[in-house]
Every structure is written in structure tokens, then in C-alpha cells.
Structure 1
């Protein structure tokens, strides 16, 4: 894709998460009726990245005097408010890919960062008393053919050989019968059990933003798309919107799939990628005392959580049901693709034993679309933009943002406040370096050895 992704669509569909917060005080929120003429820091994008960056800036040491957060639609109306609510670190799965791309040291850091993110997520939720249905437990990787099983086994073995930590973290179940019994998946050829969590993503963002607005004077402006960002004579930036311009000392792009609209140098490096997710009411065989005790990654990238609070299953994936060309570059989150709806509806009775006939009110009740920001290496861009003093980016989370964003936001906040890269605690390969952006822009089509789906082996949380 070599064209601008444009802007978020004006009338998106509602996800399960968004349907159930129609009483949110942030709907249509504008802290002030007019845009401020100037500010210390302007953040573009009010998903989890923008909200968490604002939180770490405003609650950290030496907070900036004024922070403005601009959002094209509603707060948390993009991928954050549409994902699967799945906080699942990659504890080994894509190690071979990261090592081939960045070398052993960086690959180990990428894997460690994801566990750090889950721990930080839990720490912040507990510290701030955030009611977002957070649950921490375990997840199963469930290969269902030899290709996937071989991929996972090879990655696990190489990770262990290179000193990656697995004791007490990853449990291998290599006997197929034992794997089928543990996972309740008759087609399982093996299983890998590792830490994971789940939550209500919109409620997390709502709490972080409300806290920053009420206690730290964050100025949130929804329905204010940014049309251009121009350098000001003498330093700083003019952030131009349909409602006027804000003069700002520093600007942060938390724009994920739409980053290349305002930063053309990211064209071909961050792509929009359309996904689809569903809310499923399980039959009695998977309700009550029979509820699934773990989250799941299934076969070639389908994933699910079963919410402990209400037993509802959030299930995403079904990407093999559509040609990749119809998903790559697609920014339409206003409706659903019927082929993906059917695949989502049919999948769980096929994956799980004894699912049984679905009664009225059971099964797939509703599904929705969302737009992710994919990158060719499968990792985000986080850091200062070269040749743009006072400009920073946190984008391209590759459908895996819930397992990365919290640490990325904390690290970027440290950079914005004048720290060096060592203060971020992040892998060096996340930086938007000249070399990285000068590399040939190409979509890497890769999914556990299959050459028909863009992205990594989706150990992820995206829609």
C-alpha cells in the first residue's frame, strides 16, 4: 500500500464494549468549548496509547504544565475499543521470527517486554483502583495441525536454547491426548500454557482519561481530527484541526493505523488492517461450572477470552476466510464482512468438544470490525522522530497493543520528559530510526509458515 490511509470513518459500528458504555461521560467530551491557543504537549489519538501517555506524563515527576489530547472520533473508538480484551504476552511463540529480524539480544528483550507489560497493567489497575473487569490467569496455545505444532515447538526450543525463561512461565503439553483433555479441543496436537489476562478495554481508558481530566487538568477534545502538523518558526509545532490550530512545544502521534496520514514517512511501514471480532453466548456445556479457565490462541490465529464476570465469550480472528487484499489497507469499520461473520459463528462448535446445539439466545449474538496498525516487522514504532525536534510516535502495535502499549507509553513519557533511551526500558528495535524508515516498504506476509495472511503468528489481542 503506497497511499495515505486517510482518516477514521465518520460512522463506525459499535463493538460489544462500546455498546455497553452509552452512559460514558466521555462521549462527545470537550474539556473546553474552544481549543486552547497553546499548550506544552499535544497528543493525537485517544485510544489506550494516548490515554496511557497522558497518564504517565501527568502523574510522573515534573509533569508538563498543560496537555491537550485530540481525537478524531470518540475516545477509545478505534482498535482499543474494538479489540478482544485479551492481554496476552508472547512468552516464546514468535521468538524465532524476532531473532531472525533483530538478533538474539533484541528478541529476548521483545519477549520480556510483553511480560513486563502485563505486570505493569496489573500494577496500574491495582494502584488506581480501576474497575475494568481485569482478570489474570493463563492462556493456551493450541496447534491443530503439524505445521503449527512444528512452528511452536521450534520457537520454544530455540528460545530455551538462547536462555529464554520458561520455568514456571510456559508449560508444554506435548502428548496429544493430554493436550486434548486439558484444552477441550479434539483437534489439538499439543498445547502450551502461559500467563495472560483479560479486561474491558474501554473502561480502562475511561478511568485513565477521567483521572487525568479531573485531577491533572488534561484537556480532551473529541471529534477534532488533526489535518496537518507544521513546524513553527523558532521551534514547536502548529497542530491544525477543523476547529482551529494549537501551538504546542511537543507533539505525540498515537495514531496507530492512520499514522502515515500525518507522517508520510510511515507510508508502507504502518498499514491499516481490518479485523473482526464477535460476542458469543456459550451453551450450557461452556457456562457456569464449565466455563473455560484459560484464554486461548487457536490454530492459525483465532483467539478468545471468556469473561469471568458474565461468561460471555469474545472471539476474534477468522482471517483465513478472506483474501488478504480485502483486509490490508482497509479502514472501513462501519460494518461487517459476511464471510468473516460466518467463520466466527462456525468456529467454536468445531474447535471445542461437546459444544452442542445452540438454543435461541446462544451462539454468536453480534460481531464488529476494527482497524489495526500492522508493521512489516511485527513490532511498533516508539520514540522520537528524527529531523522533527519535539515530535514523538507510539504506533503500529500490530494487533498486539494490549500486550505492549502500557510499557511503550511509560517509556515514551520518559523520553518526552528528556530521558534517554535507557530510561524507557524498551527494546531498542522499537525506535523509529532513519535506517528502519529507510528500509524497503513492503508488507511481510507471514503467519506460522503460511504465506496467505499478513502479520505475525497472531499471539495477539487485536480485533
Structure 2
């Protein structure tokens, strides 16, 4: 596959997940999971709630719905492929809140108050994720380090971050003990072990095995709360019964229809397939990630102490991201967007193939990034790589809440390649809304709501990304 060109399969419906996707490091290591191929014994004809999607958004929404007070009587989850085989099962395993970097962009789009709420929500999500993992004793290799390191790989990136930090603090942010800014190149290189570091920012973050977190939540929901889970069951349509404007919904599948009072779309990049009003408002974006066996200098005592992003300002404007797993030392490295045209990534939903140019980039780039990487012995270096499909919104924040004009439909999608830093609080919030709470009780930023004004935004995701690429601007996540 590495040396083959990407040849699209014209017989595959691109509006649905590919039936035979590549297998990520996370999925390779969980082939013994009892949830693979799982289908609850009975395929129901009706349900109080149907959740579409079994990634972290769907799994955590089910968890928060089925625990606490006012729980629904019966919840059904429908998954087009295997459990957690989408973006959650393919990401970089990074739990990294944005503590400062996106502030200026969010402020421009939503105003200062919402920008503050967006960044606070990300730290709230990391804290909630840790709380749930500990409370439920989910074995998912969760690790929360003292520091995540943002590495500015050129001076324009360092200047941009410095300006953003200055603006954020001038607007009232207290970053004491939260973000440490190191703009001395010598100190930045020493801390990051990266020869190209111009500056670094460091703050708290974590990492985990994403499939194990999602499947752990699903296991609780199935065994303790009677969640009905049906994998390999794509949803073909969600529609009102004939001559009915209010009340229930018909969820159509090839295995039969389910009448549901409420439906949650936790379908991220594929949401517009079933909700056409989100076309161009949640746009698929194919990314590529890898697992790398480190050399001796980055093993044992030389293990990296931090998780990373490596970022460039103009004219390049992209980034790579990396964790090193404390449990086994495997490095997870994702990125390589600069190696291919935007059209090879955006609106691409085929995660059964890899781009050979990105594969080669991921194979060799750590030799350049990390000082002292050295020669790779047999068995070291690139172990595997894979693709996954994210769902981006124009503003790079998700849609969370009721679907306007369609009573009983809810959305928890569009996490814009940053779901691990948002999903847990979004799912808690949407569960609260479905149980009758008002928006304020969710604790979520108001700008996450899928309002008509957001959906009537004049520019599509692709148009905005083309502008940013042309200007050499940084992608938010």
C-alpha cells in the first residue's frame, strides 16, 4: 500500500463510512474486544432514544443519558461499521486542551466572552475525562503529564503565539501556572529536544487509548443499563412518519426500521448524509497517523516526558502532533498535511487507503525533529500508519444541541479534529438537554449551538480552508 497511488473505489458510496477501512494501531491492539461484531440479541422496533454512531461522542452520550436521574427507558445505538471504527478509533490518542492558541481566532469569530468559554471548556473536558475514567475504573492507559509542549518551528509561528498570549492576557486571562511561555531558542531546544524550536509553550495535557475509553463506556452501558447496540447497521434515513409533523421519528436501516422519540446524530464527518442542512457545514477531512518504535535514545530513561505539537507559521502554516505512550514507549505521530494538496484531504472519506507521500514523511520526519534520534535498527522506526476521517465546521467548533425545526433530533458532531478536548463535556451537555435542562445548565459555550444563524454562514468549510492555505495561516487544530 505504501508505494501505491490512491485509487478511489467508484463503487463505494462516499457519503457513508468505507466498509473495509485501514486498521489503526489502536484497533490492531484490541482485536480481542468482545464488542467487535457485537449486536444485541433483539433488533428493536421502537426506542425512546436512538444514537447514531459508536465513537466517543456516541458512547459518552449514551453513558450520560443512562446514568444519573431521568434516564430514558430504552436506548439503541446504531453503528455503520464496527464499534468505534471511525475517528475515535483512529486519532492520535491526545487529550490536549487549547489553553491559549485559538483565542484570537475565536474572539474574531464569536467575541471575547465566547472565546474565554471555549478555552475554559477544553480544560473542563480534560478534567471530566480524567474524573470519569477514575470513577468507572476504565483501563485505557490514561496518562496526564505535567506538560504538553507546543513547539514553534519557525519565527513567524513564535511571533504569532506571542501576540496571541499578549492579547489573551490583556483581555483578562490569568495564565499563571497554566501556560509557561519560553521564547529563548536555546532553552526551547533543550526542553523540547527539537533542533528547530524557536519557542515553546507548555501546559497540562494527557493521552490515552481512545478505543478502550469508548468501548469501556459502552461496556458499562450494555451490562449495567441495557443499552441495545447494533454494529454493522448503517442508517439509511431519518424521517417523520407519514402525515406527522411532531412526535416520533422513523430510523431506517437495511435490517428494519426503528420508531424513536429522540435521535442523536453522533456521526461527525458523515452527519450531512442524514441531515442535509449540515452539508458544507460539517465537511469530511482525511488525516493520516502513525505508530513508531523509538530508537534507543528515546527509550527507557530517554523516554519523552511531554506530548507535542510541531507547528509552523506562514508561509507553511500546518502542524504535526505526537505522543509517546508511557506504557510501552510507542510514539504516535500524526500530520504530514503539507505533503499533499488540500483536495487530497478535504471532502475525502475513504479511510481504506493511505497517501504514500504522507507515509514517507511520517517514516523519516522524527530524524529531523528530534536531536539524537540516530540510526534505526531493524524493528525500530515506522511500525504502521493509517487514515481517519474528521469532521470540520467553518468556525472549528462543534454543533451540540437540538436540530432547529426538527423536534426530537439532536446533534453532537463537527468536532473539527479536536474531539478528545471537547467530546466528554459536549456529551454530558447534550444528555442534560435531552433530560430537560436548559442551555445554561450544560456549562457549554453558547456558540456550540446549531442555530440557524450558524448554519446560514456564507462560507463553507472548504472555502475557509482554501483561504487559510493561500495565506499560509495556521489550522486551529
Q: TM-score, normalised by structure 1?
A: 0.96
Q: Distance in 2 between matches of 1:22 and 1:439?
A: 42
Structure 1 position 454, deviation (Å): 9.2
Alignment gaps of 5+ in structure 1? 459-463
Identify the residue that residue 315 of structure 2 maps to in structure 1.
none
Contact 1:5 1:257 in 2 (8 A): no
Deviations 1:208-243 (A, max 9, x none): 001000000000000000000011325110100010
Deviations 1:48-78 (A, max 9, x none): 0000000000012111000000000011100
Identify the residue that residue 368 of structure 1 maps to in structure 2.
386
Contact 1:42 1:248 in 2 (8 A): yes
Q: Distance in 2 between matches of 1:451 and 1:426?
A: 33
Contact 1:445 1:454 in 2 (8 A): no
Identify the residue that residue 282 of structure 2 maps to in structure 1.
270
- Over 3 Å counting, the alpha-carbon distance change for 1:448 and 1:94 in structure 2 is farther
Q: Distance in 2 between matches of 1:235 and 1:455?
A: 44
What is the aligned counterpart of 1:215 among 221, 224, 229?
224
Structure 1 position 445, deviation (Å): 4.2
Q: Distance in 2 between matches of 1:349 and 1:339?
A: 17
Q: Distance in 2 between matches of 1:30 and 1:120?
A: 29
Deviations 1:183-206 (A, max 9, x none): 111110000001110000000011
Deviations 1:294-335 (A, max 9, x none): 000102310000000000000000000010011000001002
Alignment gaps of 5+ in structure 2? 1-12, 312-317
- Over 3 Å counting, the alpha-carbon distance change for 1:224 and 1:201 in structure 2 is same
Structure 1 position 446, deviation (Å): 5.2
Structure 1 position 456, deviation (Å): 2.8
SS at match of 1:68: strand
Q: Distance in 2 between matches of 1:70 and 1:425?
A: 28
Contact 1:447 1:455 in 2 (8 A): no
What aligned pairs does 1:441-452 form with structure 2 within 5 A after superposition? 441-442=459-460, 443-445=462-464, 451=470
SS at match of 1:451: helix
Contact 1:320 1:453 in 2 (8 A): no
The question of 1:171 aligning with 2:180 is answered: yes
Q: Distance in 1 between matches of 2:354 and 2:182?
A: 36
Structure 1 position 152, deviation (Å): 1.1
Q: Distance in 1 between matches of 2:344 and 2:297?
A: 36
Deviations 1:396-430 (A, max 9, x none): 00000000000000000000111111111000000
Q: Distance in 1 between matches of 2:434 and 2:106?
A: 27
Contact 1:76 1:202 in 2 (8 A): yes
Structure 1 position 441, deviation (Å): 3.9
Q: Distance in 2 between matches of 1:350 and 1:456?
A: 22
What aligned pairs does 1:270-309 form with structure 2 within 5 A after superposition? 270-299=282-311, 300-309=318-327
SS at match of 1:276: strand
Q: Give the aligned length.
A: 454
| TM-align CA RMSD | 1.5
Identify the residue that residue 29 of structure 2 maps to in structure 1.
20
Q: Distance in 2 between matches of 1:173 and 1:424?
A: 35
Identify the residue that residue 191 of structure 1 maps to in structure 2.
200
The question of 1:44 aligning with 2:62 is answered: no
Identify the residue that residue 351 of structure 1 maps to in structure 2.
369
Q: Distance in 1 between matches of 2:455 and 2:465?
A: 20
The question of 1:399 aligning with 2:417 is answered: yes
Structure 1 position 450, deviation (Å): 5.0
Q: Distance in 1 between matches of 2:251 and 2:211?
A: 26
- Over 3 Å counting, the alpha-carbon distance change for 1:427 and 1:260 in structure 2 is same
Q: Distance in 2 between matches of 1:50 and 1:128?
A: 17
Identify the residue that residue 416 of structure 1 maps to in structure 2.
434
Structure 1 position 350, deviation (Å): 0.5
The question of 1:251 aligning with 2:263 is answered: yes
Structure 1 position 447, deviation (Å): 10
The question of 1:142 aligning with 2:161 is answered: no
